[in-house]
Chains A and B, each alone.
Chain A
Amino acid sequence: MFQTTKGKGLGAARPPDHESAGRSLAFELTALSKVYQRGKGTVVRAVDDLNLAVPVGQVVGLLGPNGAGKTTTIKMMCGLVTPTSGRVQLHGYDVARERPMAVRQVGAVLEGARNVYWSLSAWQNLLYFGRLKGLPRRQIVPRAESLLHSLDLWERRHQAVGGFSRGMQQKVAIAAALITNPPILLLDEPTLGLDVQTARTVKDWIARLAHEQGKTIVLTTHQLALAQELCDRVAIIDQGRLLTDLPVHELLARFRQETYEIRLGSPLDPGAAPWLDGFSVTSEDGGSRIRGPISDQNRLYDLLTQLRTQHLPLIAVEPVEPNLEDVFVQILKEG
């Protein structure tokens, strides 16, 4: 699918010296740091000594709370932010030293940005972004036709993107990122602000891009259910530091024995229950569910005692399979 000889040609995607025993790295972040000087003497360490190596064809979830450094990491990966120290390699190309070749390896949909020109049509946008990466029209046109058909945009391809719904605009942005068929796709909050149906379409797309076309995808999202469904592995960062980097199944297995769900027969206000720190509380049908890690019997009894003191009717207590949200909350709490 991709070229295997390194050269100055526009199609060069992966140099052979980075292939090894059937397993090659899509990207590698080495001791990556970013320090911002904000005002007099104020230093913000957005990313701190981040190391991450991801093989080709994986979907990686880059998760963390707001301000964790996810977007800065994504932007350093595609060369939009210059690292203070460290190195980013995309398919073996160093973003700092071999920028022209490195940026050809990625397509990006960035958070909170239009990503495409609203005054242009979807068709014009795809032609523009294809040529921007150096491709001639004869190579862009078949790809653009295919993308627009598959994203249900063909009939409206000549209309200005500014008149589209948010979901359609996001589809155009994804199509523009894919127009050169890059092996790596960086998606920063790709489903943010989308309705359920469009978010599902985008999610299905991401899954197929990874599993049918072998693309490496880096995904940042606050929708942990989406990350759990899509990602092969998850890297959780907080305050610029990598807290964990594991395959999703392995991450969930580590917390399997520790997660419990307690069902109550009445609603519970989490704000009035500070002893539930680290638990998620959901209310439904007049009752509530408390979910979270309980590492030993004493903790469980303490919790039940608190519930009894509050005269909260207990319906059930059972161990449950943890989901990514449980793990995420637990890891951040442990820091």
Chain B
Amino acid sequence: MSTTTMPSQHPYAGEQETVRRPDPWVVAATRAVLNETLKSLWQLWRHRSVVLLEIITWVAFYPFLQFVIGNGTINRALVPPTLLAFLAIPLLYLAILKLVGDLLEEANSGTFEQMHLSPFSPTALLVGRLLAFVLEGVVIAVITGVLMTWLLGVSIPLRVAGVLPAALTVIDIAGFALLLGGLALSLPQIGAIAHLFSGLIFLLNGALIPLEWYPTWVQTLARVLPTTLGIEVTRRVVLQGQSLGTVWADGTLPWLLIHTVGLFILGWLVFLLNDRRAMRQGMLR
């Protein structure tokens, strides 16, 4: 037997406080964005066995891959450059596939509409959600990196200067995920496209063999794709010890910056426009 006791007439004690002392917009917006991150982390925790399986699979995948490419042996000289490139892959897969899958599922289940009842921009909220997947990807990348360098007996020097290109690579991935997320609102078949691009990036960003081993035209194509430029700059700074000034002067870092900022803005705009289009057409669900 259900009871129907109501909250009292003025149960929302906090409301009066809000009226007297409203939170600044930026504080409330930041809280809403981080709320999305927290929600996604709750969901990941709810499916923690799957996350654990993902971590194990990714960690095991790299040596297996190098073993196959090396025709039964692992060439240690190739480990540092290819491992650096490989570390971007789980991040890319999780950000893209989980975000797109998440959006499609939410559109089907109806919670995507509820997200739009927030006073804050859906695009900003989506970035918060993306942050959780990036966090999961970074955890997997760190575990893979530490374990592989230890198991394979190679070292990747930790240089502070490497943080900048690495961070730009992460933002680059986030921008690409936003772009595909935006397309998911108007293309229900986006899953196939997302898999195609993820596969292409995996093949060409240097995770299998160093980028320089490919023909020039393939290298050019690869640099247009997300992560390749970021990995290239990170590799030169971390493994070859070049300074940020050097990679800036030869134009590699500026190109990475342009690629990252451009892709992020493009992703933001595509999501925003497709979201508005869905609202015009009554296709938000």
Name A residues whose Cβ lies closer than 8 Å to a Cβ of B: 1, 3, 7-12, 34, 36-37, 46, 72, 75, 78-82, 99-101, 103-104, 106-108, 110, 112-120, 124, 128-129, 131-136, 138-140, 142-143, 146-147, 149-152, 160, 176, 181, 197-198, 201, 204-205, 208-209, 212-213
A115 close to B111 (CB less than 8 A): yes
Given A114-B110, A120-B39, A201-B2, does the pair A7, B22 have CB atoms closer than 8 Å? yes
B221 at the interface (CB under 8 A from A): no
Please pick, from A36, A79, A117, A132, the residue contacting B43 in the complex, using a CB distance under 8 A: A117
At the interface, yes or no: B130 with Cβ under 8 Å from chain A? Answer: no
- What residues of B have a CB within 8 angstroms of the CB of A204 in the complex? 4
Shortest distance between the CB of A146 and any CB in chain B (Å):
4
A197-B1 in contact (CB<8A): yes
A181-B14 Cα distance, complex, nearest whole Å:
10
Query: Which residues on B sit within 8 Å (CB–CB) of A142?
Result: 11-14
Interface residues of B in 22-62 (CB under 8 A from A): 22-23, 25, 28-29, 31-32, 35, 38-39, 42-43, 46-47
Q: Is the CB of A150 within 8 A of B35?
A: no
Minimum-distance CB pairs A-B, first 3? A113-B110, A9-B22, A139-B14
Of the residues B11, B39, B284, contact of A146 by C-beta under 8 Å: B11
B215 adjacent to chain A (CB < 8 Å): no
Interface residues of B (CB under 8 A from A): 1-19, 22-23, 25, 28-29, 31-32, 35, 38-39, 42-43, 46-47, 109-111, 113-120, 125, 276, 279-282, 284-285
- Which of B1, B9, B39, B117 has a CB less than 8 Å from the CB of A103? B117
* Contact yes or no, B32 A82, CB < 8 A: no
In the complex, chain A residues whose CB is within 8 Å of the CB of B118: 103, 132-134
Chain B residue nearest to A198 (CB atoms) is: B2
Known interface pairs A8-B25, A79-B116, A134-B32; A150-B19 also in contact (CB < 8 Å)? no
A20 to chain B, nearest CB (A): 22
Specify which of A75, A79, A119, A208 lies most central, judged by the most chain B CB atoms within 10 Å of its CB: A119
Q: Are B6 and A212 in contact (CB under 8 A)?
A: yes
Q: Of residues A10, A106, A136, A149, which shows the largest number of chain B Cβ atoms within 10 Å of its Cβ?
A: A10
Q: Are B116 and A80 in contact (CB under 8 A)?
A: yes
- Point out the residues of chain B lying under 8 angstroms from A119, CB to CB: 43, 46-47
Q: B34's closest neighbor in chain A, by CB?
A: A131
Q: Is the beta-carbon distance between B6 and A81 smaller than 8 angstroms?
A: no
Per a CB cutoff under 8 Å, which of A78, A124, A151 touches B39?
A124
Indicate if the CB atoms of B11 and A197 lie closer than 8 Å: no
CB distance from B22 to the nearest CB of A (A): 3
Q: How far is the CA of A149 from the CA of B11 in the complex (A)?
A: 12
CA distance A110 to B282 in the complex (A): 14
Measured CB to CB, the closest approach of chain A to B190, in angstroms, equals: 21
- Check B282 against A81 for contact (C-beta < 8 Å): yes
CB <8 Å contact, B11 and A132: no
For the A-B complex with A9-B22, A132-B125 known, give 9 more contacts whose Cβ atoms are closer than 8 Å.
A10-B18, A11-B19, A11-B22, A75-B282, A103-B118, A114-B110, A119-B43, A134-B23, A150-B4
Chain A's nearest CB lies how many Å from the CB of B273? 13
Q: CB-nearest residue of chain B relative to A128?
A: B39
Tell me if A120 and B42 are in contact (CB < 8 A): yes
Smallest CB separation, B7 vs chain A (Å): 4
Query: 19 A-B pairs, CB-CB below 8 angstroms?
Result: A11-B16, A36-B282, A72-B282, A78-B117, A79-B117, A80-B117, A113-B109, A113-B285, A119-B46, A131-B35, A134-B23, A136-B14, A139-B13, A143-B7, A143-B12, A146-B11, A176-B114, A209-B6, A212-B6
Within 8 Å by CB of A12, from B13, B17, B22, B39, lies B22
